[in-house]
Structure 1
Amino acid sequence: MFQCVLPLIDTEKIDLSSAPWTMHEFFAGSGLVAYGLKDMFSPVWANDVSQQKADVYAANFYSEHFLLDDIKNVRGASLPYAHLSWASFPCQDLSLAGSIGGIDACRSGLVWEWLRILDEMPEKPRVLLVENVSGLLSTSNGNNYRKLHAALTERGYDCGAIVLNASLFLPQSRPRVFVIAVQHGRHIPQELIGSGPCWLHSKTAAELGNTLPGWIWWYTEKPPKRHFTLKDIIEVNVPFDKDNVIRLVPEKHKAALEKHETVYATGYRRTRHGQQQLELRFDGVAGCLRTPEGGSSKQFLVVKKNGEVHARLLTVREAARLMGAPDSFILPGTYNDGYKAMGDAVALPVARFIGEKFLVKIAEAVYND
């Protein structure tokens, strides 16, 4: 049985308003960040441009604070004050699976709109968090991150980037970069600052940190080992209707299938040397969920059991479980709507981990010094 990260709740909307600290939630999506930070940071304002994601947010949370609009239309002077500003800006131009247009391209470049809004605020939050894919650090030889880092330090913040993979908490490989920024001169608990790279820093992050001014080597202890796998989040009694894709499994992966008596594997269709292949992973962890645009962006589940091999797409509920959402989380709309809402989100237990280990402790320090 799948063990939810949060306890199941009834179908009533979730109240996010009870928390000691407040936050702005830019690029809020379906609200998994707000859910993860529940009881720590209450969103007093949230925004997204996607109607599909707004529908998911409204189906699950009391959402009077949610603004469905283009971020370009938002003015900082109109926002209520908040202790934290969280911005999970679009990743398409920084993703290795995308066009890699860079941080100034039309989609990922919306991060500059967030910074413009900060500049327009009468009083900026003392704590910021910026989230994106690992390509933020690695693309353009690190120059995309350097530009963002410079923009933050120029605005009076010290910051550092950490890399967290959702696989620490869930059976999904989903590495993401989290840039935590604190106003310069504010007190930061010494327990959160290391003397150099630790398990939170990829090689690229370590290289950047060694060269950039105003860099903070964030530190906390590693979470305990996860004890459930892909098999534990699978919905039973869902028909296997994609057996035709098994013919696309490459020979070396077929050989691996042969070695297992029972196995749950996932894979994406990829083009290799001009031919489509369904490349599988057998480590009990799903590949990184994506948005469903394009035929190669939906993840297949391949199960070998009782001598038979069958295939189907991951269900929307399985995608939600891979993001840490409890089964009570409502996903209205089509399959693609639900899959997009999850594939474009921040994994809930990752947001909770960052909130508990860093953001609450930082807020307590910087707002009480």
Structure 2
Amino acid sequence: MPSFYEFFAGGGMVRAGLGEGWTCLFANDFDARKGLAYQANWGTGGELTVGDVRALEVAALPGEPDLMWGSFPCQDLSLAGVRAGLGGERSGTFHAFMGLVGGLAEQGRAPRLVAVENVCGTLTSHGGRDFEAICRSFAEAGYRYGALVINAELFVPQSRPRLFVIGVREDVEAAPEMLAPGPVEPFHTRAVQRAAAALPEDVRAKLLWWNVPPPERRAATFADLIEESPVGVDWHNQAETERLLDLMSPVNSAKVEAARRAGRRMVGGVYRRTRIEAGERVQRAEVRFDDVAGCLRTPSGGSSRQIILVVDGPRVRSRLISARETARLMGLADGYVLPRNYNDAYHLTGDGVAVPVVRHLARYVFEPLVGAAAAGRRAA
């Protein structure tokens, strides 16, 4: 059975995506509240260590993992942040993560696979220098690597594009069908291609183009995941809904009017955003009715919490999205145990990685490579 380490583990969404066919040897997160959620879902077997990744010693990492995963913090790389990049306090923990990879290699325990996940802004952060630093770290650690942008909306009704960089140890052979001679859609976006083309020649020499098939067409819509009587949130009263509608620009108001005329129940996702209009900062409510929720974010403020707008003919209702609904948008089963506190639950889901995306990567990248490595060991 293949094994893995899960860093920046949150509530264990990577573990959920890998499934029962994988064994977790070690998990780590800095947030104690997320650690409680991890244990509530995966037990207290001792694999979880709560604490700063920068304080970890290689000696604390057991065994020889097949995969080492790190969804390191995005705040310094996000377009919504201050763009401090990999030199920032939070996103800079990537270096500590890769330092552990190097330490394992020195002991002859280098993972066969190393995967990191972050926002797509990583590709352009600091003029592409942060993406170059990530790729160089993989190359210098002895890994060939490839970058993919996968939008979770292919799997779940949530717009959530994320960058994945997946490295394979140089002595692990990849079957020819797993690699493409150049970029292929939909996962090698133009942004990935531009970032790859800008890499220095020595770093680009170890670049791979992972050939990952697209998933089957998604059937579920945003409306399918919405509850009439959710736990933990209440429907707004009419005055509150009217105030929300009043915050909409003429374009967004027109979207609501079109939904009223649709002749069917329409569910939209709303975010409050600050826009500059006539030189002044104005708060606006922006809605989408394309059967896909907006990207979940961590609830640092009221504007970052997604609001549901349900339009059924002349009747318009609104409320905050529930914690369970956010979990569904991440591909978590309804049996997944969420924190009781709303903000804690929203933070857990909004800061995670979509479960079916991990499963897709496991099926088409991780498991074939782990199987090839095992076959090679048996032949030797």
TM class, shorter-chain normalised? over 0.9
Question: Aligned equivalents of 1:94 and 1:368: distance in 2?
Answer: 39
2:96 alignment partner AA: E
Please state if 1:56 is matched with 2:42. no
Which residue does 1:206 correspond to in 2?
193
Gaps of 5+ in 1: 1-19
**Range moving further from structure 2, 337-346 or 136-145:** 136-145
> Could you tell me how far apart the structure 2 residues matched to 1:195 and 1:107 are?
35
* 2:350 equivalent to 1:351: no
- 1:205-224 equivalences under 5 Å are 205-210=192-197, 211=199, 212-224=204-216
Q: CA deviation at 1:151?
A: 1.2
Q: Which residue of 2 aligns with 1:8?
A: none
Match of 2:252 in 1: 253
- Secondary structure of the 1:255 match is helix
After superposition, give the CA deviation of every residue in 1:194-237 in whole Å (9 maximum; x if it has no partner). Answer: 01111111112112333422100001211111111110000113
Residue 314 of structure 1, aligned match among 300, 311, 321: 321
Q: Which runs of 5+ in 2 are unaligned?
A: none
Residue matched to 1:10 = none
Superposition map of 1:131-142 within 5 A: 131-142=117-128
1:301 and 1:314 in contact (8 A); partners too: yes
Are 1:191 and 1:220, in contact at CA under 8 Å, matched by a contact in 2? Answer: no
* More helix, by proportion: 2
Partner of 1:113 in structure 2?
96
Deviations 1:87-138 (A, max 9, x none): 1100100111111111121100001111111222212112111111111112
The alpha carbon displacement at 1:289 in A equals 0.2
Partners of 2:340 and 2:54 in 1: CA distance: 27
How many Å apart are 1:319 and its aligned residue? 0.3
Kept in 2, the 8 Å contact 1:29–1:345? The answer is: yes
Is 1:66 the counterpart of 2:48 in the alignment? yes
Give the Cα separation in 2 of the matches to 1:99 and 1:317.
Answer: 30
DSSP 3-state at the match of 2:366: helix
Structure 2 counterpart of 1:126 = 112
Q: Which amino acid aligns with 1:350?
A: V
Identical-pair percentage: 37
Q: How many residues align?
A: 350
Question: Hey, what does 2:309 align to over in structure 1?
Answer: 302
Q: Is contact 2:124–2:195 with CA below 8 Å preserved after alignment? A: no
Partner of 1:4: none
1:85–1:129 Cα contact (<8 Å) kept:
yes
Deviations 1:211-270 (A, max 9, x none): 422100001211111111110000113442241322212111111211223321112101
1:85 aligned onto 2:68: yes
Which structure has the higher relative contact order (CA within 8 Å, separation 6+)?
1
Tell me, in whole angstroms, the C-alpha distance in 2 between the residues paired with 1:237 and 1:67.
37
Aligned equivalents of 2:364, 2:18: Cα separation in 1:
11
Q: Secondary structure at the match of 1:179?
A: strand
CA distance in 1, matches of 2:193, 2:36: 39
Matches of 2:135 and 2:164, distance apart in 1: 12
Q: Is contact 1:40-1:360 (8 Å) kept?
A: no
Task: Give the corresponding residue for 2:291.
Answer: 284
Decide which moves more: 210-219 or 335-344. 210-219
Q: How does 1:261-272 map to 2 (within 5 A)?
A: 261=260, 262-272=265-275
**In the alignment, which residue of structure 2 is the partner of 1:3?**
none
Partner residue in 2 for 1:240: 235
Aligned mates of 2:22, 2:184 — CA distance in 1: 27
- Whether the aligned pair in 2 keeps the contact of 1:76 and 1:119 (CA below 8 Å) is no
For residues 55 and 340 of structure 2, the distance between their equivalents in structure 1, rounded to whole angstroms, comes to: 27
1:286 aligns to what SS in structure 2?
coil
Q: CA RMSD in A?
A: 1.3
Contact 2:34 2:348 (C-alpha < 8 Å) held by counterparts: yes
Answer with 1 or 2: which has the greater Rg.
2
My pick for the range that moved more, 72-81 or 266-275, is 72-81
TM-score by length of structure 1 reads 0.92
Match of 1:144 in 2: 130
The C-alpha deviation readout for 1:321-350, integer Å capped at 9, x for no partner, is: 100111111112310000001000001111
Letter in 2 for 1:363: V
Distance 1:96 1:74 in 2: 29
TM (normalized to structure 2)? 0.89
My pick for the range that moved more, 243-252 or 146-155, is 243-252
- Alpha-carbon separation, structure 2, partners of 1:42 and 1:236: 38
Structure 2 SS opposite 1:108: coil
Runs of 4 or more above 4 Å deviation: none
